[in-house]
Chain A
Amino acid sequence: MRHLLRRILFYACAVWVAITLDFFIPRLAPGDPVAALIGKMSTKGYVTPAMQQTLSAEFGLNTHDSLLAQYFKYLGNLLHGNLGNSIQYFPTPVTQIIAQDIGWSLMLGAVAVFISFTLGCLFGIIVAWRRNSALDTILSPAMNFLSAIPYFWLALLSLFIFAYLLNWFPLTGGSYDAANINPGWSFDYIGSVIQYAFLPALTLVISSLAGWMLTMRNSMITTLSEDYVLMAKAKGLSEGRVMFRYAARNAILPNITGFAIAIGAIVGGQLLTEMVFSYPGIGYALFQAVGEQDYAMVQGVFLIITLAVLGANFLADMLYAYLDPRVRVERSA
């Protein structure tokens, strides 16, 4: 219980830092974002003075409030779920756009992470158990190499090979074939969704699989030399039970810690994947917002991403505490 409380406090602190960063970064950056924005929008059409006013208000630039007052106003807005209005899709509120996109990101991310983590850990366990076998000698160096390949390059490559050359998968992006199919629980729709999500998911899985497998393998090898594994063998327990309940159960703990920390990296990687594949998730939205200088969008998406990551981290922490009873005891530094 103590432990739970400390973690909650910590994450509350992290959330606060994220919100504050989100508030201050645009205001600390040099230059006048509004003028730049208006300049950009002028190329698309006439910008009315009313719109200019609204924009300035969005940025809180024409108010005479102190920075602190603006900050509290911002916090207040947040609590009401108001992230401002998007410039690109003016005047659609940011939250609405995010709500549309976040579903795709979550689906892609959840599937990819689940598959790569499970497969990675499984491979790691098997490879460590059968050390020096053909499997280990081939797989481990291959995975080494694979984990060094930059995410987005792998994505580019796979898009080139599978979509451009082989034409198995769509090249143009999107989450399903919007031109021909309507959303709904039909085979066509689900099939189309899978077709559009397959390649991004594949690259995500391949890229992160190696990392999980290698950490699991190394952790497993270290664990296998522990006395309690020897004792489990001495007890005449079945090989499966020794491997999973005694060895893997302990060896997986560093991976779970790593998982919590890697969530941030996973999200980052997914960002790039969505970008390359033009997959309409939250990462793609962020990228477009940056390109179009839609600052409200940028801030809003960043906040949502950060909150999601913190949430996932918190869950991973709880999972770890459940799996490792030693953590629950209050330990002095």
Chain B
Amino acid sequence: MTDKQADTQANTLLEVKHLNVDYLASNGTVHAVTDVNFVLRRGEILGLAGESGSGKSTLAYAITRLLRPPAMITSGEILYYPRGDDDSCDILQLNSRQLRSIRWNDLAIVFQSAMNALNPVMNVGAQIMDVLRAHRPEMGPDSRKKRAIELLQLVGIAPDRLRSYPHELSGGMRQRAIIAIALALSPEILIMDEPTTALDVVVQREILTEIIRLREQLGFAVIFITHDLSLLLELADNVAIMYAGRLVEQASSRDLHQHPRHPYSYGLLNSFPALHGPLRRMSGIHGSPPDLRAVPPGCAFHPRCPLVFSPCRTDLPLLRPPVQGEDNGRLVACHLYDPRYNAEPPSTTDLARKYEALVEGSVTQ
């Protein structure tokens, strides 16, 4: 093991290996997550991006084992390396008591819609304090109240809101309240499932600034799930892009912004109009995501890809470094970067040209 690898090892917080999640329905099995592998390091913000139905939420719920039937985790390991310890535990193998002790203590989740995630008949303070009561039995009611007020202030909610009901708070405040509850036990990992999608852009900005500040202060890792890639470019350290249940690209956000490799990543990035620069035609991505009961053979993206060529229709591309021998963590699942199929990997301008050609209509699918 090299020094670098050892260093990475020590820093690893969560390791997902070969995770598969299926939805068993009477009209066909939906492969929501197929063979997903990634690593989350301490204090890292990992962005998980993809269209609706790409499996990102399913992945998040699988990690916390909150999936409801008919969803089932059919194979895989989710190794969690608790604070400072050497030994890991497989979250999928924990019994219910162990699971309950990990939940919220180490692994907290921030839901998409705060209005739906808060119990409408309990006030906000009670919802913070019952977590404390369940996991910190040594705390008395006074210290619980103190901690609750502390948490509310941490996210910028006035303490007099302790006894407020969810319907009495504004949308932004509810989201903050959810974040406060999530941070109650100082977890190691915070999973955020589209926490700002339901809010307007101004509040969105406030919440995101809040998250960055809290992360700097408390040092937790974040898995941030969203379909809004531009958000991740600002917020995340690393980004993983999912398509049809598989990871298709992994890179640092900077790298991704400057040089997206996978044609899908390029398409996603360029679906957002730039604030500056010359006017250009927007292409978006032709077609729509596949039905997960019948994923296209070979590369799932091939029916929509402007750079499709023959192996794409038959062979499944695996996640591998785009440049041979490089080990900086960049991974892409595309035959264009596989020297066995394609000698010269495309550059960004190549991708740009192909997409524009799509718009012009000169490339037929």
B78: CB under 8 A from chain A? no
Known A-B contacts: A228-B116, A249-B121. Give 5 more (CB < 8 A): A225-B68, A234-B104, A235-B130, A246-B122, A250-B120
Contact partners of A225 in chain B: CB under 8 A: 68
Complex contact A236–B130 (CB within 8 A): no
Complex contact B134–A227 (CB within 8 A): no
What are 27 A-B contacts with C-beta separation under 8 Å?
A: A225-B68, A227-B111, A227-B113, A227-B116, A228-B116, A228-B119, A230-B111, A232-B119, A233-B103, A234-B103, A234-B104, A236-B101, A236-B103, A236-B131, A237-B134, A238-B100, A238-B134, A241-B134, A249-B121, A250-B121, A324-B120, A324-B121, A325-B121, A325-B123, A325-B165, A326-B167, A329-B167
Provide the main secondary structure of the chain A interface.
helix
B binding-site residues for A, Cβ under 8 Å: 64, 66, 68, 99-105, 108-109, 111, 113, 116-123, 130-131, 134-135, 165, 167-168, 181
Give the Cβ gap from A111 to chain B, nearest Cβ, in Å: 29
For A228, the closest partner residue in chain B by CB is B119
Binary CB contact string for chain A from 209 to 228 against chain B (1 if under 8 A, 0 otherwise): 00000000000000001111
Complex contact B111–A236 (CB within 8 A): no
Contact partners of A228 in chain B: CB under 8 A: 116-120
Complex contact B167–A323 (CB within 8 A): no
A40: CB under 8 A from chain B? no
| Bound form: Cα–Cα A83–B181 in Å | 60
Contact partners of A323 in chain B: CB under 8 A: 121
| Bound form: Cα–Cα A234–B181 in Å | 11
For A238, the closest partner residue in chain B by CB is B134
Complex contact B134–A233 (CB within 8 A): no
| Bound form: Cα–Cα A235–B130 in Å | 9
A245: CB under 8 A from chain B? yes
Complex contact B66–A233 (CB within 8 A): yes
Complex contact A235–B116 (CB within 8 A): no
| Bound form: Cα–Cα A241–B120 in Å | 15
User: Number of contact residues on A: which range applies?
Assistant: 20 to 34
Contact partners of B68 in chain A: CB under 8 A: 225, 230
| Bound form: Cα–Cα A39–B160 in Å | 75
A231: CB under 8 A from chain B? yes
| Bound form: Cα–Cα A316–B64 in Å | 40
Contact partners of B135 in chain A: CB under 8 A: 236
For B114, the closest partner residue in chain A by CB is A227
| Bound form: Cα–Cα A236–B99 in Å | 8
Contact partners of A232 in chain B: CB under 8 A: 119
Tally inter-chain residue pairs, CB-CB below 8 A. 76
Contact partners of A230 in chain B: CB under 8 A: 66, 68, 111, 117
| Bound form: Cα–Cα A233–B64 in Å | 10
- Cβ contact of A234, chosen from B109, B116, B165, B167, cutoff 8 A: B109
Given A227-B111, A329-B167, decide whether A236 and B134 contact each other with a Cβ distance below 8 A.
yes
For B131, the closest partner residue in chain A by CB is A235
For A323, the closest partner residue in chain B by CB is B121
Contact partners of A245 in chain B: CB under 8 A: 119, 122, 130
Contact partners of A238 in chain B: CB under 8 A: 100, 134
| Bound form: Cα–Cα A325–B119 in Å | 11
Contact partners of B100 in chain A: CB under 8 A: 236-238
Complex contact B116–A226 (CB within 8 A): yes
For A237, the closest partner residue in chain B by CB is B134
- Cβ contact of B130, chosen from A227, A241, A325, A329, cutoff 8 A: A241
| Bound form: Cα–Cα A256–B108 in Å | 34
| Bound form: Cα–Cα A278–B64 in Å | 61
Contact partners of B121 in chain A: CB under 8 A: 249-250, 323-325
Centre residue among B64, B68, B99, B130 by max chain A CB count within 10 A: B130
CB contacts under 8 Å to B, within A79-135, are none
Contact partners of B119 in chain A: CB under 8 A: 228, 232, 245-246, 249-250
Complex contact A237–B131 (CB within 8 A): yes
- Cβ contact of B120, chosen from A233, A235, A236, A326, cutoff 8 A: A326
Contact partners of B134 in chain A: CB under 8 A: 235-238, 241
CB contacts under 8 Å to B, within A47-104, are none
Give the Cβ gap from B7 to chain A, nearest Cβ, in Å: 32
Given A227-B117, A228-B117, A231-B111, decide whether A236 and B122 contact each other with a Cβ distance below 8 A.
no
Complex contact B104–A236 (CB within 8 A): yes
| Bound form: Cα–Cα A325–B118 in Å | 13
